[in-house]
Chains A and B, each alone.
Chain A
Amino acid sequence: MTETTKDPTSQSQGAVDILDLNKIFLPGNASQVIALTDINLSIAPRSFTTLIGPSGCGKSTLLRLIAGLIEPTEGSVTVNGKTANRARQDRDYGMAFQTASLFDWRTVRKNIELPLELLGWSRADRRKRTEEMLELVQLSEFVNSYPRELSGGMQQRVAIARALAFRPSLLLMDEPFGALDEMTREHMQTELLRMWQETGTTVIFITHSISEAVFLSTQVCVMSPRPGQITAKVDVDLGERTEETRDRDDFFDYIVQVREALRS
């Protein structure tokens, strides 16, 4: 496993700690929405945590709270021992979405370089890291292509490379494979796990797919809507994942376990 560039003392506490969190949109207003209630969650460094649940259960809201893009109504979110907003200012995490959301006007290289530019990296360092990232997502020959010249799966790989380029200790992914076909999706899952193992990043991942959640995660958080809360946490211990993992009995046992938690 490669060294992360982050402070090793952050290993002693959780990568993310959420304490008694409530989120209400438009509080006090007649049309107020209780998005999340009583969320308590601790995410260990280098773990892979999935948030799963039906639409409208507040998965994306929870992810944006961790990202410090919105503020909790009550409770606290701590990322690497700091407030979520502080962690955002310090650029502690990378983000990827359901749509690749690449910048059409930038080549693949320039898309991956964008976070590095914002961090003030030198041109030579940016180039070197981008080459490494392209190797990681296996798109080296497309370095000078524009996003519209790539397939959906390739665009998503560039988006992941962009999110990981500055080696953040935390990667937040909001249904990144939701728009891909089944075959590309399974391929991307294997790729993501490989990158996760190579970089030692903590991953928080949103999905609608039970099998995807089980295949990827070390911890699955099952959520229910109205009001959004975490109803179960399933620790998944499948060892190293390979394509054969998908056919194993204990893989199916975990799927049943998560499905039942979703029903209850």
Chain B
Amino acid sequence: MNRFLRSCLTSPWFLPLVFGLAGLLVWEIGLLVINPDGFVLPRPTEILSELQANWDEISQASRNTGFIIVSSLFGGVILGVVAALIVTRFRSANEMITPLAVAVNAIPIVALAPIFNNWLGLTSPRSNQAVVVLLVFFPVFINTSRGLTNVDPNQIELMRSLASKPWTIIRRVRIPSALPFFFTALKLVSSLCVVGAIVVEYFGGRQDSLGSKITTYAGFTQYDAAWAAVLAGSLMGIALYALASLAERLAMPWATRQS
């Protein structure tokens, strides 16, 4: 027990956790003192009880939005990685396409949501998925192709000196070298896609989605319930980020192992 306690105290999670809980406590008590009506900002406990009260609606909305998030995340990541592999295999394609992708990435893609709704249907989740896939695609594509080309030239020469074919070099040198870049992108898009999916739902898509619920609750001045829906979205974002970090640790033991 003593050892368990010590490992808790020395864990890198310990201080942020304490700080976060203290923050919630200050939020709760501070609002109780200065703003007991809780009109502008509800207290954490009020948000929790609202989440409980609207559990069926919010959990259903979370499932629908969660499906869009996860499917688009997978789709965007796979497309981004495949495109990066193709583009780095052919150098001229890389020089032609990558700067273009950087430029396209500067477009506020979420702003295209109403246009996609027009193309794919206002209430169809397809248009939401399309926007989020695009949102995910570009950072993954750009980072991964940068990682695939950012390789120690001596390592390439070493492989060539051993008569390796281009595809062997991609598999054994370029892909492992690109992993840190890829995971940086993955952690970025794991939170970005939650933001994107919810904002896109403000404009259209299914009625029982988190974004739609947030606008509805807010429209009826049920701000506590809107906060509860935001909380559900936050939890999904945190969970995805944690999964991405875990995948990074598992895929790159050499970068995280304690020596």
Contacts and interface: CB of A to CB of B under 8 A. Distances in A.
Q: Check if A and B associate.
A: yes
B154 A97 contact: yes
A149 B258 CA distance: 9
Interface in B140-160: 152, 154-155, 157-158, 160
Contacts, number: 55
B152 A88 contact: no
Interface in B191-214: none
B11 interface: no
A221 interface: no
Contacts of B179: 105
Contacts of B252: 105
Contacts of A106: 254
Interface in B208-259: 252, 254-255, 257, 259
B161 A93 contact: yes
A103 B173 contact: yes
A151 interface: no
B154 A101 contact: yes
Interface string A214-245: 00000000000000000000000000000000
Contacts of B172: 103, 114
Q: Interface residue tally of chain A, by bracket?
A: 20 to 34
Contact of A69 (B161, B176, B259): B161
Interface stretch (B55-63, B68-76, B162-170): B162-170
A20 interface: no
Contacts of B158: 95, 97, 101
A146 interface: yes
Interface in A43-97: 64, 67, 69, 88-91, 93-95, 97
Contacts of A104: 176, 254-255
Chain B contact surface mostly: helix
Given A69-B157, A118-B168, A99 B163 contact: no
B259 A91 contact: no
Chain A contact surface mostly: loop
A89 B163 contact: yes
Contacts of A64: 157
Nearest to B161: A95
Q: Interface residue tally of chain B, by bracket?
A: 20 to 34
Contacts of A69: 157, 160-161
Interface in A124-159: 145-146, 148-149
A146 B157 contact: no
A99 B161 contact: no
B258 to A, nearest CB: 10
Contacts of A93: 161
A89 B164 CA distance: 9
A88 B254 contact: no
Contacts of B154: 97, 99, 101
B175 to A, nearest CB: 10
A94 B172 CA distance: 18
A241 B165 CA distance: 41
Contacts of B257: 146
Nearest to B259: A149
B152 A91 contact: no
Interface in A97-125: 97, 99, 101, 103-107, 114-115, 118-119
Interface in B9-66: none
Contacts of A99: 152, 154
B254 A67 contact: no
Given A101-B155, A119-B162, A172-B161, 16 more contacts: A67-B161, A90-B163, A95-B157, A97-B157, A97-B158, A99-B154, A101-B152, A103-B155, A103-B172, A103-B176, A104-B176, A104-B255, A105-B176, A115-B162, A118-B164, A146-B254
Interface of B: 152, 154-155, 157-158, 160-164, 168, 172-173, 176, 179, 252, 254-255, 257, 259
19 contacts: A88-B161, A93-B161, A94-B161, A95-B158, A97-B154, A97-B158, A99-B152, A101-B152, A101-B158, A103-B173, A104-B176, A105-B176, A105-B179, A105-B252, A118-B162, A118-B163, A118-B168, A119-B162, A148-B254
Report, nearest first, the 8 A-B pairs whose CB atoms are least far apart: A101-B154, A97-B154, A105-B176, A149-B259, A146-B254, A95-B161, A89-B163, A118-B162
